[in-house]
Each structure stands twice: as C-alpha cells, then as structure tokens.
Structure 1
C-alpha cells in the first residue's frame, strides 16, 4: 500500500512495465546501473540497455499518467538506495501483459545490483502486507 511506500506513485492500471522500463532507462543513462553485477549475473545486459534506451521518462509519462519529474524522482530513489527491495503484489500481473510487466519490474533489481545486499532484491507476494 502507499502507506508503506517511500514514494507513493499512482499510475494507470496495466502500465507498470512502462514505468519499469523508464526507471531502467534513467539508471543506465545516469550511471546508476551496476554494470559489473549485470555482466556477472545476467544473460544480456547490453541488450537490456539497448532496449530501454528509447524508453525515456517522457515516453512513460504519456503511458502511465505520471509526470516526468515523478518518474525521475523514483528512478533516483531506486538508484541511490543500495538495499532497494521491491515487494511486487499479484494485482498488476493479473491483466493483459501482466507477466511482462512483472518481469520488467523485477528486472530493476538486477540493473541496480541490489540482490547482492542483504535485504535488497524483489519478491512477488502480497502476504503480510495487509494487517
């Protein structure tokens, strides 16, 4: 829920993948991607970087309903927080292209290399979120 978030973003349903691609674009563009981690632990870091090169915050803003400033701020928060942890709920995976959106969102953790830090990474679960 937004109450648990460091930064609450409300985007159009089904547009999570566009946000994730724009975040990765900023991470690569602003040299916040952990290229050594990507080279060692992923199968095509150069292909991913090439793929998100045109997925700018302006591109994603048109799709998600967020502002460019919101997307840039979120990307900076993610890129500057070494132990970033994404709890990815089931909701956005339950619609058209949901699995692709989930894959894009989970890929942010690989781009930042946060998997290598205790408490960092991504997990697909809603358990424990509602109390």
Structure 2
C-alpha cells in the first residue's frame, strides 16, 4: 500500500514465485485505514471514500488507499488463485493491557486492522 505504482511490483513478486507456490502479502486493511484515530475522534469507525484510490499523506511517507477489490482483481489478472484471506483482530487481553496507554485500542478488537492474502501462482 506504500507503493505508488503497485501493479508492476505485484507482478514482479508473482513472477519470482515458482509455479504452484504461494504469494503471500499483508497490508493495513483498506476498509479500516486510520482506524484508531477515527475511533478516538468519533467512538466509532467512519469511512467516506472507500471505493476511490487516493494518497494518504503521512508525516514520514505516504500510503495509497485502494479498495480490496483492486488487489484481488490484480491477483486474478496475474493468473493467481486465491487460497486464503485473513482479517485478524487484536487479542482482547493485549488490548486490555494497552488500554491505559492507548485510548480506543478496543477498536482493533472490534475491527481488523490488517489483511493477509495468500494466492497460488499458476503453473
């Protein structure tokens, strides 16, 4: 998600995997970017521009929002077969231990912050 021209990068990764091998990647879940800051401000998660592609300017570097379908459709166009998608939430015990230092940490228990994708590279 931090690569502006991401499709050639994904193609290079897929090309580096032997046929039948797995290409696995993780990113901040595109449906729940800026989860903590939004939850802290509104006591809930809000999103307005999910279907658009846009730059998220950061203090150190930018990220780029793309809907989940952009990533999955690109995998399909590269001939990959989706094997598994995981959207883990934060362990409630970990959130409880961090609650005093990080207000609204429970947002990570209620909604996934990360997305993990595994796809088989075609033979």
Alignment TM-score, normalising by the size of structure 1: 0.28
- Bigger CA radius of gyration: 2
Name the structure, 1 or 2, with higher relative contact order (CA <8 Å, separation 6+): 2
Relative to its length, the structure with more helix (as a share) is 1
Relative to its length, the structure with more strand (as a share) is 2
